[in-house]
Amino acid sequence: MTIDTASAVRSAVAQLRDTVCALHAELTRYELVVWTAGNVSARVPGEELMVIKPSGLPYHELTPAAMVVTDLHGRLVDGHRAPSSDTAAHAYVYRHLPEVGGIVHSHSTYATAWSARREPIPCVLTMVADEFGGDIPVGPFALIGDDSIGRGIVETLRGSRSRAVLMGGHGPFTIGRDARDAVKAAVMLEDVARTVHVAHQLGRPPRLEQEHIDSLFHRYQNVYGQQGEPTS
Protein backbone atom coordinates (compact mmCIF):
# COMPACT_ATOMS: atom_id res chain seq x y z
CA MET A 1 0.00 0.00 0.00
CA THR A 2 1.16 3.57 -0.55
CA ILE A 3 0.35 7.00 0.81
CA ASP A 4 -1.40 9.14 -1.80
CA THR A 5 -1.05 12.54 -0.16
CA ALA A 6 0.65 15.90 -0.54
CA SER A 7 4.43 16.06 -0.62
CA ALA A 8 4.52 17.75 2.81
CA VAL A 9 2.80 14.73 4.38
CA ARG A 10 5.13 12.32 2.58
CA SER A 11 8.08 14.32 3.89
CA ALA A 12 6.70 14.26 7.44
CA VAL A 13 6.15 10.51 7.25
CA ALA A 14 9.69 9.96 5.96
CA GLN A 15 11.14 11.99 8.83
CA LEU A 16 9.05 10.09 11.36
CA ARG A 17 10.15 6.77 9.92
CA ASP A 18 13.74 7.84 10.60
CA THR A 19 12.89 9.10 14.09
CA VAL A 20 10.79 6.12 15.17
CA CYS A 21 13.42 3.68 13.91
CA ALA A 22 16.19 5.49 15.79
CA LEU A 23 14.15 5.66 18.99
CA HIS A 24 13.72 1.89 19.04
CA ALA A 25 17.49 1.71 19.48
CA GLU A 26 17.05 3.73 22.69
CA LEU A 27 14.78 1.00 24.07
CA THR A 28 17.53 -1.57 23.67
CA ARG A 29 20.26 0.84 24.83
CA TYR A 30 18.44 1.39 28.12
CA GLU A 31 17.50 -2.30 28.35
CA LEU A 32 13.76 -1.63 28.34
CA VAL A 33 12.94 -4.51 25.95
CA VAL A 34 14.14 -7.96 24.93
CA TRP A 35 13.94 -9.88 21.65
CA THR A 36 11.08 -8.33 19.59
CA ALA A 37 8.96 -7.03 22.50
CA GLY A 38 7.93 -3.40 22.83
CA ASN A 39 7.24 -0.63 20.35
CA VAL A 40 7.41 3.08 19.67
CA SER A 41 4.88 5.03 17.61
CA ALA A 42 4.50 8.63 16.49
CA ARG A 43 1.47 10.58 15.34
CA VAL A 44 1.84 12.29 11.96
CA PRO A 45 1.11 15.94 12.85
CA GLY A 46 -2.16 17.21 11.42
CA GLU A 47 -3.06 13.85 9.89
CA GLU A 48 -5.07 10.81 10.94
CA LEU A 49 -1.96 8.69 10.59
CA MET A 50 0.78 7.19 12.74
CA VAL A 51 4.14 5.50 12.22
CA ILE A 52 4.85 2.36 14.23
CA LYS A 53 7.18 -0.65 14.40
CA PRO A 54 6.16 -3.76 12.43
CA SER A 55 5.14 -6.88 14.32
CA GLY A 56 7.76 -9.42 15.35
CA LEU A 57 10.77 -7.86 13.62
CA PRO A 58 14.02 -8.13 15.60
CA TYR A 59 15.49 -4.81 16.69
CA HIS A 60 18.72 -5.31 14.75
CA GLU A 61 16.67 -5.62 11.56
CA LEU A 62 14.74 -2.38 12.00
CA THR A 63 15.26 0.27 9.35
CA PRO A 64 13.31 3.43 8.52
CA ALA A 65 11.86 1.66 5.48
CA ALA A 66 10.63 -1.19 7.69
CA MET A 67 8.45 1.15 9.75
CA VAL A 68 4.78 1.01 8.80
CA VAL A 69 2.12 3.69 8.56
CA THR A 70 -1.46 3.11 9.68
CA ASP A 71 -4.52 5.25 10.10
CA LEU A 72 -5.84 5.95 13.59
CA HIS A 73 -7.99 2.84 13.48
CA GLY A 74 -4.93 0.64 12.95
CA ARG A 75 -5.48 -0.01 9.23
CA LEU A 76 -2.29 -0.31 7.17
CA VAL A 77 -1.77 2.68 4.89
CA ASP A 78 1.84 2.32 3.82
CA GLY A 79 4.35 -0.50 4.26
CA HIS A 80 4.75 -4.18 3.48
CA ARG A 81 4.69 -5.73 6.94
CA ALA A 82 1.96 -6.29 9.51
CA PRO A 83 1.89 -3.51 12.12
CA SER A 84 2.73 -4.15 15.78
CA SER A 85 0.23 -6.22 17.74
CA ASP A 86 -0.27 -3.12 19.92
CA THR A 87 -1.31 -0.93 16.98
CA ALA A 88 -5.00 -0.86 17.93
CA ALA A 89 -4.09 0.29 21.43
CA HIS A 90 -1.85 3.09 20.14
CA ALA A 91 -4.49 4.16 17.63
CA TYR A 92 -7.18 4.35 20.31
CA VAL A 93 -4.97 6.58 22.46
CA TYR A 94 -4.28 8.94 19.56
CA ARG A 95 -7.99 9.17 18.72
CA HIS A 96 -8.98 10.02 22.28
CA LEU A 97 -6.01 12.03 23.57
CA PRO A 98 -5.26 14.55 20.83
CA GLU A 99 -2.42 16.12 22.82
CA VAL A 100 -0.43 12.87 22.60
CA GLY A 101 2.15 12.76 19.79
CA GLY A 102 4.11 9.64 20.76
CA ILE A 103 3.57 6.36 22.62
CA VAL A 104 5.99 3.74 23.94
CA HIS A 105 5.30 0.25 25.25
CA SER A 106 8.09 -1.64 26.96
CA HIS A 107 8.55 -4.62 29.23
CA SER A 108 11.24 -3.02 31.38
CA THR A 109 11.93 -5.20 34.39
CA TYR A 110 11.09 -3.04 37.39
CA ALA A 111 8.14 -1.14 35.91
CA THR A 112 6.69 -4.44 34.69
CA ALA A 113 7.15 -5.93 38.15
CA TRP A 114 5.01 -3.12 39.59
CA SER A 115 2.48 -3.85 36.81
CA ALA A 116 2.42 -7.52 37.83
CA ARG A 117 1.68 -6.49 41.41
CA ARG A 118 -1.08 -4.15 40.20
CA GLU A 119 0.47 -1.56 42.51
CA PRO A 120 0.98 2.14 41.68
CA ILE A 121 4.49 3.51 42.07
CA PRO A 122 4.11 6.03 44.92
CA CYS A 123 5.46 9.55 44.60
CA VAL A 124 8.23 9.25 47.17
CA LEU A 125 10.97 10.89 45.08
CA THR A 126 11.40 14.31 43.54
CA MET A 127 12.06 12.61 40.18
CA VAL A 128 8.62 10.99 40.29
CA ALA A 129 7.05 14.37 41.05
CA ASP A 130 9.09 16.13 38.35
CA GLU A 131 8.38 13.74 35.54
CA PHE A 132 4.99 12.23 36.41
CA GLY A 133 3.30 14.74 38.72
CA GLY A 134 2.33 12.19 41.37
CA ASP A 135 1.84 8.46 41.82
CA ILE A 136 2.26 6.42 38.64
CA PRO A 137 -1.12 4.72 38.21
CA VAL A 138 -2.13 1.16 37.40
CA GLY A 139 -4.46 0.42 34.51
CA PRO A 140 -6.75 -2.59 34.10
CA PHE A 141 -5.70 -5.94 32.68
CA ALA A 142 -6.67 -6.26 29.02
CA LEU A 143 -5.94 -8.78 26.29
CA ILE A 144 -3.72 -7.88 23.34
CA GLY A 145 -5.12 -7.64 19.83
CA ASP A 146 -7.90 -5.04 19.90
CA ASP A 147 -8.32 -1.59 21.42
CA SER A 148 -8.99 -2.86 24.98
CA ILE A 149 -5.52 -1.86 26.15
CA GLY A 150 -5.94 1.57 24.58
CA ARG A 151 -9.24 2.02 26.39
CA GLY A 152 -7.55 1.17 29.69
CA ILE A 153 -4.73 3.62 29.01
CA VAL A 154 -7.11 6.44 28.19
CA GLU A 155 -9.41 5.74 31.13
CA THR A 156 -6.44 5.73 33.51
CA LEU A 157 -4.50 8.71 32.15
CA ARG A 158 -7.34 11.04 31.14
CA GLY A 159 -7.26 13.85 33.68
CA SER A 160 -3.97 12.59 35.17
CA ARG A 161 -0.63 14.39 35.06
CA SER A 162 1.19 11.08 34.73
CA ARG A 163 2.74 10.26 31.37
CA ALA A 164 3.00 6.60 32.32
CA VAL A 165 0.54 3.85 33.14
CA LEU A 166 1.29 0.37 34.46
CA MET A 167 -1.16 -1.89 32.67
CA GLY A 168 -2.05 -4.64 35.15
CA GLY A 169 -0.41 -7.98 34.44
CA HIS A 170 1.15 -6.61 31.25
CA GLY A 171 3.61 -3.73 31.45
CA PRO A 172 4.16 0.00 31.10
CA PHE A 173 2.97 2.41 28.44
CA THR A 174 4.19 6.00 28.28
CA ILE A 175 2.93 8.97 26.31
CA GLY A 176 4.52 12.24 25.25
CA ARG A 177 4.28 15.36 23.16
CA ASP A 178 6.18 13.40 20.54
CA ALA A 179 7.86 10.02 20.29
CA ARG A 180 11.15 11.21 21.82
CA ASP A 181 9.26 12.62 24.81
CA ALA A 182 7.47 9.28 25.28
CA VAL A 183 10.78 7.38 25.14
CA LYS A 184 12.26 9.73 27.74
CA ALA A 185 9.27 9.00 29.98
CA ALA A 186 9.84 5.24 29.53
CA VAL A 187 13.49 5.58 30.53
CA MET A 188 12.65 7.73 33.56
CA LEU A 189 9.85 5.36 34.55
CA GLU A 190 12.17 2.37 34.73
CA ASP A 191 14.70 4.34 36.75
CA VAL A 192 12.20 5.40 39.42
CA ALA A 193 10.52 1.97 39.42
CA ARG A 194 13.87 0.41 40.28
CA THR A 195 14.79 2.99 42.93
CA VAL A 196 11.41 2.87 44.68
CA HIS A 197 11.54 -0.93 44.65
CA VAL A 198 14.94 -0.83 46.38
CA ALA A 199 13.62 1.70 48.90
CA HIS A 200 10.76 -0.67 49.73
CA GLN A 201 13.27 -3.37 50.62
CA LEU A 202 14.40 -1.11 53.47
CA GLY A 203 10.91 -0.17 54.64
CA ARG A 204 7.97 1.85 53.34
CA PRO A 205 9.19 5.30 52.25
CA PRO A 206 6.90 8.28 52.98
CA ARG A 207 5.04 9.88 50.10
CA LEU A 208 5.98 13.48 49.36
CA GLU A 209 3.56 16.15 50.54
CA GLN A 210 1.07 17.08 47.81
CA GLU A 211 2.03 20.76 47.90
CA HIS A 212 5.66 19.77 47.31
CA ILE A 213 4.66 17.43 44.46
CA ASP A 214 2.71 20.26 42.81
CA SER A 215 5.60 22.69 43.19
CA LEU A 216 8.18 20.24 41.88
CA PHE A 217 6.05 19.30 38.89
CA HIS A 218 5.41 22.94 37.97
CA ARG A 219 9.09 23.84 38.23
CA TYR A 220 10.30 20.90 36.18
CA GLN A 221 7.68 21.29 33.47
CA ASN A 222 7.83 25.07 33.16
CA VAL A 223 11.15 26.38 34.52
CA TYR A 224 13.82 23.66 34.42
CA GLY A 225 16.19 23.49 31.43
CA GLN A 226 16.65 25.86 28.51
CA GLN A 227 13.72 27.88 27.22
CA GLY A 228 12.20 26.26 24.16
CA GLU A 229 14.19 23.03 24.49
CA PRO A 230 12.98 19.64 25.78
CA THR A 231 13.77 18.84 29.42
CA SER A 232 16.42 16.20 29.98
Residues forming the active site: 105, 107, 130, 170, 224
Q: Compute the distance between CA of residue 192 and CA of residue 208 in angstroms, rounded to an integer.
A: 14
Residue 156, amino acid = T
Q: Please tell me the distance from the alpha carbon of residue 64 to that of residue 19, in angstroms, as a whole number.
A: 8
Confirm if 54 and 67 have CB atoms less than 8 A apart: yes
Exposed/middle/buried for residue 209 (C-beta within 10 Å: 0-12, 13-18, 19+)? exposed
Task: Residue 74: name the closest of 63, 64, 85, 65 by CA.
Answer: 85
Is residue 81 a contact partner of residue 36, using CB atoms and an 8 Å limit? no
**Other residues' Cβ atoms within 10 Å of the Cβ of residue 61:** 9
